[in-house]
Amino acid sequence: MKTAALFPVGTTAGGCISAIRGVLSREESLEVFILHGVLAPGQGPPDPADMAREIKGTDFGHPVSWKLTAPIDTFDLSSAYQTARETVRTIATERYDRVYVGITGGANPLVASVFHAALTYLDAEVVPIYVQGKGLTTERTFFAPDLRLSVLAEEAIAIARSGQTRVAAQLAARLPDSSPGLFVKVCLAALADWDDFDYARARDALRRQQRHCDGYRSDVLLAPLADTVARLALVVGRMVKTTVEFRDLQNFEKLASASGWSRKVRECGGLLVLDALNNARRRLQEGRYTDSVLRSYRAAECATQVRLYEMGIHPAKPSAFEKAFAQTGGIIEADKPIAFARGLALLQNAGQITLDEIAESVQDLGQTRNSTYLEHGYVRIQRGQAERCLNHAETICQHLLEAAIVATWPDLSMKL
């Protein structure tokens, strides 16, 4: 384990010396960075630079490497922070596993700058250390390893709450492989996969962490995360199985002719529709309005495909189930994928739905989607347009899959 320590030093050396001894009671060796204050004009001894030399001359009985000893402006907060930030940047390049950060001496701007820069910008495990003294005597040494973990976990969950689950997962990857850090890290990675519609990748992690969710129900920070993971873990298996079956052209005839196929498609396919709507809502919350419109469109298209699957019509290859295809009256081509609008027309022609109630929603949703930069046009989508498209998609999905059934769907939202 490669370990370092960063200490601010003022006009006394005892606190830093005691802190280093405390660290070496836990570590076999240590690499030390010291930022010492600078005497203000007219300020007399002791000089912080002398204190730094005293610390470096101490025999600690363990291997100690002095990596950096540098002055820092004691009273100018802006200057102190810039020096502390540069020092932390240097420490980060060394790839330490653990860094102790002293709150042992020095003026307030110095201590605050070192503490904040280290907690914010180091990827390593950061352990704050404080030495309580009475005069020149050390009374107690406090280590606070959980402080950094709490800050990281809270920041990662806040980012996930904004809809940026992949960014949150990347930040949480810095958490240690011990509880509760491991729980947060694994759960956010699984939710990021879910947010990318990769249910298969998310499944095992969600199921493993489901066993630990009850232990976090009373935790103010982690209870919403635990609730979300527990809810999604209950349905992820069905969603994975459904997507596998929907992709299986070779065995589609066998699947679609089996007893209970239509009921299963409506129930499990509905979960895919619901998640697409929730995904569109997260993109809206995140401010990615074009992406929200595309996902709203996909939810409506997915609902249309669910109804086609129920009939035994595979949207990618309508003739995959010959018996069902023969009943379409030849209005679609055997091997040509069925687009959204064409699918709706087929459903109406088959007497499965009526389009009058959703015609305006279908038209506006399609036109808005097609006008975006990510499809065929150059329109920069605004929040109001994205909200309108999400409402259109919800209207279409409720019409296609029946409002009464939609009302019974489980909660697949990420309430973090």
Lowest mean pLDDT among 314-318, 327-331, 396-400, 411-415: 327-331
- 101 with 115: CB under 8 angstroms? yes
At 135 the pLDDT is 46
Is a pLDDT exceeding 80 seen at residue 42?
no
Does the domain at 248-406 match CATH 1.20.120? Answer given as yes
Does the domain at 3-143 match CATH 3.40.50.10770? Answer given as yes
**Cα 100 to Cα 6: distance, rounded to the nearest angstrom:** 6
- 379 with 282: CB under 8 angstroms? no
**Cα 263 to Cα 405: distance, rounded to the nearest angstrom:** 11
In the chain, % helix, strand, coil (3-state, to 5) comes to: 55, 10, 30
Tokens of 340: 């959204």
Q: How do residues 261-283 score in pLDDT, each as one tens digit? A: 999 999 999 999 999 999 999 99
Q: Which amino acid is at 322?
A: E
Tokens of 383: 């929040």
At 246 the pLDDT is 97
Of 79 and 145, more confident: 79
Which residues partner with 131 through β-bridges? Answer: 141
Q: How do residues 198-245 score in pLDDT, each as one tens digit? A: 999 999 999 999 999 999 999 999 999 999 999 999 999 999 999 999
- 310 with 248: CB under 8 angstroms? no
At 141 the pLDDT is 60
For the chain, give the longest Cα–Cα distance: 99
Closest by CA to 276, choosing from 205, 284, 208, is: 284
Is a pLDDT exceeding 80 seen at residue 256?
yes
Sequential DSSP letters for 293-346: HHHHHHHHHHHHHHHHHHHT--TT-GGGSHHHHHTTTT-S-TTS---HHHHHHH
**Cα 21 to Cα 167: distance, rounded to the nearest angstrom:** 38
Split at pLDDT 50, 70, 90, the class of 146 is confident
Helices (H), 14-140: 14-24, 48-56, 77-93, 108-121
Q: How far is CA 23 from the centre of its chain?
A: 33
At 136 the pLDDT is 47
**Cα 109 to Cα 370: distance, rounded to the nearest angstrom:** 55
Q: How do residues 179-196 score in pLDDT, each as one tens digit? A: 898 999 999 999 999 999
**Cα 295 to Cα 9: distance, rounded to the nearest angstrom:** 55
Give domain limits for the chain: 3-143, 149-238, 248-406
Q: How do residues 341-373 score in pLDDT, each as one tens digit? A: 999 999 999 999 999 999 999 999 999 999 999
Is a pLDDT exceeding 80 seen at residue 138?
no
Closest by CA to 305, choosing from 266, 335, 349, is: 266
> Looking at the whole model, is its pTM more than 0.85?
no
Starting at the edge strand found earlier in the chain, the sheet holding 125-134 runs 64-71, 30-36, 3-9, 98-102, 125-134, 137-143
Q: How do residues 89-130 score in pLDDT, each as one tens digit? A: 999 999 999 999 998 888 888 899 999 999 889 888 889 998
Query: How far, CA to CA in Å, does 151 sit from each of 128, 146, 297, 316, 416?
Result: 12, 9, 38, 48, 16
- 167 with 189: CB under 8 angstroms? no
φ, ψ at 154 (rounded to 5°): -65, -40
Pairing relationship of beta strands 125-134 and 137-143 according to DSSP bridges: antiparallel
φ, ψ at 127 (rounded to 5°): -120, 105
Percentage of the chain surpassing pLDDT 70?
97
> How large is the average pLDDT for residues 164-191?
92
Of 332 and 310, more confident: 310
Q: Which amino acid is at 137?
A: T
> How large is the average pLDDT for residues 311-333?
90
